[in-house]
Amino acid sequence: MSQKQRVLIGMGGGIAAYKVCDAISALAKSGTEVRVLLTERAQQFVTPLTVATLARHPAYTDADFWNASQGRPLHIELGEWADVFLIAPLTANTLAKLTHGFADNLLTNTVLASTCPILLAPAMNTDMWQQQAVQENWQRILTFSRYHSVGPGEGVLACDRIGTGRMAEPADILAHLKSLLHTGGNRDLAGQTVLISSGSTREHLDPVRFIGNPSTGKMGLALAQAALHRGAQVTLVHGPMEESLRSRLLGIQAIPVTTAAQMQQAMLSALPQADWIFMAAAVADVKPAVQAETKLAKQDLPESLPLEQVPDIVATLAQRRTPQQHLIGFAAQTGDIIPPALDKLKRKGLDAIVANPVDQPGSGFGTDTNQAVVLQKGGREDAIAPCSKLEMAHRILDILLSKPCRLLQ
């Protein structure tokens, strides 16, 4: 990009402000331009010096807002500068002001002087969050097209209460910010339901040995986040997943499975409600013909292992889906990735397939980046250069939404 992306962050007064510092640091290190303004109460939790150091730019406070020597009004300058505006932690007080258009400090004035998408990350005590007035304000502000939300989540709060009100983790906030920077806040999947399979499946020989593959589920998770951030209702059927990834499922209906049969059952159960189906999971092709209930001793392991085919999930989905549903497959390939992907596209009855090389550096299983070629039934072919998996997920959606897949007749 010829111009750096610009994120404005407004920090409210809450203990969760310390978590925002991680997001500020990560954005600045990634090359994003960051500007931060702090409310008067926020400065009781985080100092402007700390924020300025992390952002690589001076922080702003109400003292700067009321300084007449600035020249052009500061709130106008900041509002026009921002590509995306994050408010975190969002307190009940600031929520009420935003909902009703109050402007009595730098933060709220800058909101009214801006036109960019605004991401809200609430944080407060569970009883405060559940108050009728707070919930009415929350539901109302989410009807305003500019506002997007991340969280709150559930967990142990700073007050030792266990419940809803915990601010979203920095990883979730950063992912949503990156989505908003890509889409400009466009909710082109609003009102649609997206069903995604992700990760690997495991077919056990005994309780400790299994046939599987190295897929971590990162690509499927990225697709789920991208679709969620674009306004969709998302269901993610995922195989075994690391805790660090499971913690990033905020706002996504997650269905954990282990075997191919369990994944097929979960996908078929959710299929009738889905508008888009992405079969991104790396499903095991075979399973042991016999599964032992207890661990086999080394000397009892068979010299040859009889195998059986597992269900062909994507082919079954193709047979069961309606003409109005979009079915997209994935093909993890080595060598020349196009011919086998085209064969799978036609043989399985898909609308599109995403072929990605797993033998290239920084691509495939377990990586944070990926590259691919999107092949559609109508003959369209789009290459996606190496990028983060979240960026790739958005580019896949851009391609499919700009020219919908030709549906099976």
Residue 188 domain flag: no
Question: Per residue in 82-116, pLDDT tens?
Answer: 999 999 999 999 999 999 999 999 999 999 999 99
Read off the pLDDT of each residue in 276-295 and give the average, rounded to a whole number: 90
The CA-atom distances, in angstroms, between 101 and each of 1, 144, 255, 337, 367 are 34, 12, 40, 54, 44
116 given a catalytic annotation: no
Query: Does one domain contain both 376 and 307?
Result: yes
Domain count, the chain: 2
Query: Does one domain contain both 90 and 206?
Result: no
Q: Give me the pLDDT at residue 288, please.
A: 87
Query: Does one domain contain both 218 and 176?
Result: no
Query: Does one domain contain both 108 and 175?
Result: yes
Domain boundary, last residue among 183, 213, 231: 183
Residue 135 domain flag: yes
Query: Does one domain contain both 204 and 179?
Result: no
For residues 243 and 228, which has the higher predicted lDDT (pLDDT)?
Answer: 228
What is the residue-averaged pLDDT of the chain?
Answer: 91
| φ/ψ of residue 16, rounded to 5 | -70, -5
Residue 65 domain flag: yes
Of 21, 159, 387, 405, the catalytic one is 159
With H, G, I as helix, E, B as strand and everything else as coil, classify residue 141: helix
For residues 257 and 363, which has the higher predicted lDDT (pLDDT)?
Answer: 257
Query: Does one domain contain both 371 and 255?
Result: yes
Domain boundary, last residue among 141, 161, 183: 183
Q: Give me the pLDDT at residue 69, please.
A: 62
Q: Give me the pLDDT at residue 290, please.
A: 87
Q: Give me the pLDDT at residue 147, please.
A: 97
CATH code where residue 333 lies: 3.40.50.10300
* Dist. CA 188–CA 184, nearest whole Å: 11
- Show the domain range for 312: 193-402
* Dist. CA 112–CA 180, nearest whole Å: 19
Query: Does one domain contain both 84 and 168?
Result: yes
* Dist. CA 29–CA 171, nearest whole Å: 14
Q: Give me the pLDDT at residue 408, please.
A: 29
